[in-house]
Amino acid sequence: MRIATWNVNSVNARLERVLGWFEAEAPDVAVLQEIKCVDEKFPAEAFERLGYNVVVHGQKTYNGVALLSKHPVEDVRKGLPFLSEDEVDEQARYVEAVIGAQTPFRVVGIYLPNGNPIGTEKFDYKLAWMRRLHAHAQNLLAFEENLVIAGDYNVIPEAQDVANPEAWLGDALFRPESRAAFRALKNLGLTDAYMQTDGAPGGYTFWDYQAGAWQRNLGIRIDHLLLSPQAADRLENVVIHRDERDKEKPSDHVPVVGHFRV
């Protein structure tokens, strides 16, 4: 079972590039972030022609997530549960489904808030969203399933996950509060798939478009697959498809694929 995550940075603007990767790699399941379109504008037919069932939680111009599966999808959820009844969240950042394969997996796709700039409601929203994710992940872990929470976490976990740590000290992605919330999430019993199978410094998944970041390999690792103990036991390896960043009209993120024994 190959489960992929990819922030495509506008699915329609990069459709040819995205479909080319799907045709070549054919993941069993994929979660996409920053699709940047409402549900009706998502190019579902193009993916269905490749054999995928499509679940979309979209939003005009911003955000938006999708889940694609070659197996049946069940128990679909769009949006994180709220911690209190008076909370409202209009941002499309979460999708979840049970993948009805021979070995079922519950797959979650997230696009965690960026949080910049620090000291504004955007950073408060990021930390509040992480608290909601923590609470929901705790509930999901109680099912003792093969659980994969994959996506763009907008968190650089450790100094080894960024080429130039000093340049990111004031950024929401590398703030102590963000990193502490990520650690707390893992401490529920979740495993960072990349760290389990490789863990080498330099496993970057994002390179900014500015200042020659790609050419100078000034990357960061912010796209993660966190696994329940049951899924971690089945993990064989993780592949970061960094070559996608060097192609024409690329996303600033690259696909990350977890390979699981079934």
d(CA 222, CA 34): 14
52, 94, 152, 171: the active-site residue: 152
- 241 catalytic, yes or no? no
Nearest residue to 17 via CA among 260, 229, 252: 252
Q: Residue 162 is which amino acid?
A: V
Contact in structure between 258 and 238 (CB atoms under 8 Å)? yes
- 253 catalytic, yes or no? yes
71, 224, 253, 259: the active-site residue: 253
28, 71, 94, 111: the active-site residue: 111
d(CA 129, CA 172): 13
Contacts of residue 69, Cβ cutoff 8 Å, sequence gap at least 6: 28, 29, 30, 52, 53, 55, 97, 99, 107
**3-state secondary structure (DSSP) of residue 132:** helix
Nearest residue to 228 via CA among 145, 152, 138: 145
Q: Residue 164 is which amino acid?
A: N
Sign of the CA dihedral running 179, 107, 223, 225: positive
d(CA 146, CA 185): 17
- 209 catalytic, yes or no? no
DSSP secondary structure letter of residue 30: E
Residues forming the active site: 111, 152, 253
